[in-house]
Amino acid sequence: MKHRFSWLRSVAAAGAAASALLMAGPAHAGLFDDDQARQAILDLRSKTDSLANQMSAAQRTILDQSNRLDQLNQQVATLRGQNEDLTNQLTTLQKQQKDYYTDLDARLKKFEPQQQTVDGVQGTVQPGETETFNTASQQFRAGDFKTAAASFREFIAKYPQSPYQPTAQYWLGNALYAQRDYKGSTAVWQNVVKNYPQHPRAPEALLAIANNQLEQGQKAQARKTLQQITSQYAGSDAAQSAQTKLGQIK
């Protein structure tokens, strides 16, 4: 580009020189005859026209190159925009892929055993186990004790190694008690105390047994059960309740 403008300046200088010669022609007319003067003028005009044509051609070339440069800039801008679109599309696809695998992982985990804490005790919970237990619990809270008892029994049989076992048996006892099945509820609670003596539900089961005994007028047996709670589970909430009930038995 620098060389092109230098060339244009040269062409312009030559044109100026030719014009100067034309203007100076009359002052030296005596040095040439008419034919020579006319020929000189024609030569100068020819050179001037040639230079003018060259200048026009150069201007057209510059204009063409400028247009091409504009086109190239537009193409670059278009490509840049396309590149940004592709980058955005790639980012979106990567996010969608990540979300897909996260969702898939969450779905697969539902079919795998999970570690879970139930009533303060940690254990392995099988797929569907928590949902089954929750269904029985909801039936109990809704007051449908007969259906809840059947659901808890089904759960206890289906998941014998479940960390929900002591809790499920405890609530089965409550469902039976709600139906005034004192014998059945007492048997279930005794099973909790026997098989899970260190579980948090064990003192609660004993307290429930004592309440059963009191309701049936078995005061001596109830006193014995309450004393077992205060000695075996001292410091627990059930022990405090047992101590209060002991003071109420006459």
143-197 pLDDT, tens digit each: 999 999 999 999 999 999 999 999 999 999 999 999 999 999 999 999 999 999 9
Give the pLDDT confidence score for residue 100 in this predicted structure.
Answer: 64
Mark the ranges of the chain whose per-residue pLDDT is less than 70. 1-32, 100-101, 103-111
| Helical segments of the chain, H only | 2-24, 34-109, 129-141, 145-158, 165-178, 182-195, 201-215, 219-232, 237-248
pLDDT of residue 166: 97
Q: Of 231, 213, 235, which is closest to residue 222 (Cα–Cα)? A: 213
Query: How far is Cα 181 from Cα 231, in angstroms, rounded to an integer?
Result: 28
- Cα end-to-end distance, the chain, whole Å: 117
Question: Strand 114-118 vs strand 121-125: parallel, antiparallel, or unpaired?
Answer: antiparallel
- Residue 4 tokens, joined: 């092109």
Distance CA(222)–CA(241), nearest Å, equals 13
Architecture of domain 114-248: Alpha Horseshoe (1.25)
| Residue boundaries of the structural domains of the chain | 2-83, 114-248
Tokens standing for 55?
């200048």
Q: Residue 107's pLDDT is what? A: 58
Minimal CA–CA distance to 132: which of 163, 159, 110, 97? 159
- CA pseudo-torsion sign 160, 166, 170, 171: negative
Q: What is the pTM for the complete model shown?
A: 0.59
| pLDDT confidence of residue 156 | 97
User: Which residues make Cβ contacts (< 8 Å) with residue 242, sequence separation at least 6?
Assistant: 206, 207, 210, 226, 227, 229, 230
